[in-house]
Structure 1
């Protein structure tokens, strides 16, 4: 440690309160039985302890705000004149004190001027009553040294006083508590005794340089330096330094305290911050990457760095592993030989196997003595003494273990365990997501194959059925044309029913074929003007509209992302149904559009016969009809086709209806400016 002197007694204090405050000093003086009074630079009393009140026999309230000069004899110099400037900061003198009992008492007073923490000046006076003729000299003896020793003995901080040779002249009792050396053993020895060997020569060189040049290399007000404990280890110290002269000899005083708790708190905080940052990075990386092996490799590197350990490994008990051994998915700092015994699963006595069996974290301070993991003693041959195992994934069905190993016996803190559990949770989520995505991809692939086969079947079936139907229709028509004269009324009716059935069968097959090709034969989705689509539909339905005298109205329709041909089918089916099921009155149909969130909602409203609420769910099923063919034509596939087209466009379709009050068919489509998402049927 380098010696020196701050500018004032208060200069040794820092924002961390490493020196005694004025309040603490007053308490120490009181504890030491020293009468003390505190004054402004002009001599006004601002505070006094009980011992001073006892000496003067005034009440404290009478003393506060009083000029100290009123307490002394008329021929005595004023206090402020004795210690008026920076040149005279300390003085000792004898003064007569007028007491509150109207008597006079001679006292010895030591005055010192110093700067307070807020920059203002104060004068402190330490008072000792002089002995009367009947008192022994020893009981009245007053020295500043006695006061200093009383204060030093009461302080929790260590104090040493050295000469210019670095020999210790004084050590207070706190030195033994902090550094283990009894004060009596230190006095007379060199200060280098309490300095770590690696810094002793640096101290001696710095002291010599200061004595020769006055140059300082460290902050004397407050500096953090290690001290050498008697047991041989180093102790972090917060040190304040000062220098003084006595009988023309130069001395240095050092005030220090053990800052191990603060240093440990700083280390813990730094470790927690590093661990939190690692978890945040690992979480982001897990979201961004689909490469689980790369994630596991990155995780082991992060964990090893954050915990400052020698070996980190991730064991997998499922993927690629066997009944007899774990698979090491990732590792850093540990080779095959180190993990040779750890990957064996012959018994639940290695760290990873014991962790799986316990279904909770296991922290081991010593593999040689911990009876839970006798199978892990093999890692000690490679310099690893302690470790932690944490299950990866749900405790009921963990797919693996995250394990760390450290050289030397180590007591892992709670925040270390929490950090490992958080990392294991992220890894478990990533592993499960990978397995889910693998299953999902397999399912999607299977569905695509199944859909392709269904489309091929539907096409083949409809194509193959068309030919027999055409043949049936042709032969029925031949029978009707050739043998019409020979058929009676029933025969003609039967042939008519057969022809009608064949025609309806062909229509159903055509509808089924069209339904199966919604995805495979649809055009790419692109911006479509629905006003143009509606205009085309109304043109196609003009004959039906004229025959039914239907009234069709429409609001301005938006531009959407879609397949124009398929959207034409949706409007055509919905409008023809609205006209068909209008009842006995004139068909009135209105088409409207409304923006709802990110979608457009299109509505086709009619005033027709309506639908029973219990039947609204089945009308979108293939070949489901609510009315007989004698009442209304149709194949029963039109609304199912509408639903599949709308779903292909990323929307949905539904109906709101009441019997006799009309129906409103609504469906949603994406605006033209919104990119289309992929949808699977």
Structure 2
């Protein structure tokens, strides 16, 4: 009751049986001008201005839950005296307010300000009874109120009932409550009421329960209901307070739809990343769309601007109907054409009132009433369209259109990605075939050139040996140059042959201990190390997956270069290893002549030399071999260097190994 009074802006107070105020509402504080703190623990009769005592008023009340009494009395406010009507009721137990008297006898009261009778200085006696006060309160509330007897016959209905359920309150009074209960729930209600009267057992939460009400036009209205019962003059009654919760239910339904649609978009996005089958993805998309929008049909068409039959839409996937893949629909005057032309969604709420289109092209269902079409792909060059149809005329929400556009975006992205991957795979296949042909050519050329070079070198040496006495110094020098050139050419061909075989003739990967590889390399280079008085230091190196033969060649090339290009000082070389994420980073640092920054990329190319043959020997293919070996192992190689400050060659190798 306190809640009703608060909603109706009626002053209300609660006091102990002795008259001490223990609770008031906001309307009471506004009427009296006192704050809650000033009123609490104050005797209510101190507010009377004419000497009336609370005892005289309470004496008219019986004991227990007796009927209320009404009286006129002037109330002393903080600023003046106000004529009022006070309605008092004695309660055997509290529970309608606050404080520690909740289960003790108490007095509750309603205070209403009275206007003076014209021409009189005395306030007229109120004829407003407690029941009429309740009726006035109930009439002012936006929530529906009905009062029932134990036969479920309606004894009272307030005006809000008509706004919520369409029934005239006067016509409802005297009729059965089952009239406003959906037929499917009427027997359940009657059985539950009888069980409560017999046993006191409640099968629902009376404080708040959501139940449907039957509107006069036949549809059901979702209601939030609070129930209570009371006894008056020996008869039991039930009061129900209810409000239309359709807006909240609609908001909940919209939120649920959005959640389902977001989950569908998320699922489709993951599926698009994992699936390489376009048709499977399109079919999954139509299934998700039908489920998320609670529609009957969904179809995806590919737009063929210049097919054998001219401009058409070719069916690629569909849900809810039987149609063979590849069925085409005319673009002319179709919903798809409108979407393609408008660069945006086309929404049809009712085909019967739509004069632009007759209905869907491939769905053979005369009952189709509504639909949405969105484009798949960029507006400038759309891949196709996505159609959704339903057999009921419906107003699609903005979030429904947004959902379809999100699905279309995912499909367009996946289709473009698969196109790109297909082109990339074709390019990779072409490159692999080209590389294979180049390797075959390099091997054949290198192999075929070896024999002529050996012949040239052999005949020149034969001439030198046979005609040594007849050759002058210049002739012998010329022959020496020719033999040296043939030998260098043979070394270059051997290097080129080795370079071409890095991928095609490498050994399978296996666990390789790089410390053991380094030890073997140092043994092979021992003569060079001793001759140059080189100092080689190394940290502990890891075990990796790789080709031990090629890794040995990698270390040998890097160390021999570090020793050879040491300059005038004895070589000082240090090897280190560091794990960075999923890779090992291995460095070979020297204190040699260094490399100009402009040349640091060029040194890894085939036959690129930075120095003349008179300064340093070599074919110019060693570092190119190093790069091919590192790349085959899934890493990369680079150099950090400054002229005269030494060089650090660094390469990475995956921890798990990659080929």
Given the two structures, how large is their TM-score scaled by the length of structure 2?
0.85
Q: CA deviation at 1:239?
A: 2.6
Tell me which residue corresponds to 2:168.
Answer: 182
Q: CA deviation at 1:213?
A: 6.6
CA contact (8 A) 2:512 2:543 kept: yes
Q: CA deviation at 1:329?
A: 2.3
Gaps of 5+ in 1: 1-8, 11-19, 31-35
Tell me which residue corresponds to 1:447.
Answer: 431
Tell me which residue corresponds to 1:14.
Answer: none
Candidates 39, 44, 58, aligned match of 2:20: 44
Please say which of residues 476-485 and 625-634 is displaced more in the overlay: 476-485
Alignment of 1:17-56 (within 5 A): 20=3, 23-24=6-7, 27=9, 29=10, 36-46=12-22
Partners of 2:495 and 2:346 lie apart in 1 by 66
Q: CA deviation at 1:397?
A: 2.8
Q: CA deviation at 1:400?
A: 2.3
Gaps of 5+ in 2: none
Q: CA deviation at 1:466?
A: 0.8
Tell me which residue corresponds to 1:285.
Answer: 271
* 2:628 aligned with 1:644: yes
Q: CA deviation at 1:637?
A: 0.8
Q: CA deviation at 1:459?
A: 0.8
Change (3 A) 1:544 1:344: same
Partners of 1:650 and 1:637 lie apart in 2 by 20
1:598-643 Cα deviation digits (max 9, x unpaired) = 4333333333333222222211111111122222221111111111
Partners of 1:141 and 1:617 lie apart in 2 by 106
CA contact (8 A) 2:19 2:54 kept: no
Partners of 2:305 and 2:556 lie apart in 1 by 55
1:383-414 Cα deviation digits (max 9, x unpaired) = 11111122223333332222211121111112
* 2:557 aligned with 1:588: no
Change (3 A) 1:138 1:208: farther
Q: CA deviation at 1:513?
A: 0.1
Q: Taking CA–CA contacts closer than 8 Å with sequence separation of 6 or more, which of the two structures ends up with the larger relative contact order?
A: 1
Partners of 1:556 and 1:62 lie apart in 2 by 85
Where 2:470 maps in the other structure, the secondary structure is coil
Where 2:211 maps in the other structure, the secondary structure is strand
Where 2:379 maps in the other structure, the secondary structure is coil
CA contact (8 A) 1:651 1:669 kept: yes
Where 1:382 maps in the other structure, the secondary structure is coil
Alignment of 1:336-375 (within 5 A): 336=323, 343-347=328-332, 349-371=333-355, 373-374=357-358
CA contact (8 A) 2:149 2:237 kept: yes
Candidates 59, 63, 67, aligned match of 2:43: 67
* 2:471 aligned with 1:487: yes
Partners of 2:224 and 2:208 lie apart in 1 by 7
Tell me which residue corresponds to 1:333.
Answer: 320
Tell me which residue corresponds to 1:677.
Answer: 658
Partners of 1:585 and 1:337 lie apart in 2 by 81
Paired residues in the alignment total: 645
* 2:526 aligned with 1:548: no
Change (3 A) 1:266 1:112: farther
Tell me which residue corresponds to 1:269.
Answer: 255
* 2:215 aligned with 1:239: no
Tell me which residue corresponds to 1:110.
Answer: 88
Change (3 A) 1:264 1:80: farther
Please say which of residues 590-599 and 212-221 is displaced more in the overlay: 212-221
Where 1:368 maps in the other structure, the secondary structure is helix
CA contact (8 A) 2:331 2:337 kept: no
CA contact (8 A) 2:590 2:646 kept: yes
Given the two structures, how large is their TM-score scaled by the length of structure 1?
0.83
Partners of 1:181 and 1:125 lie apart in 2 by 33
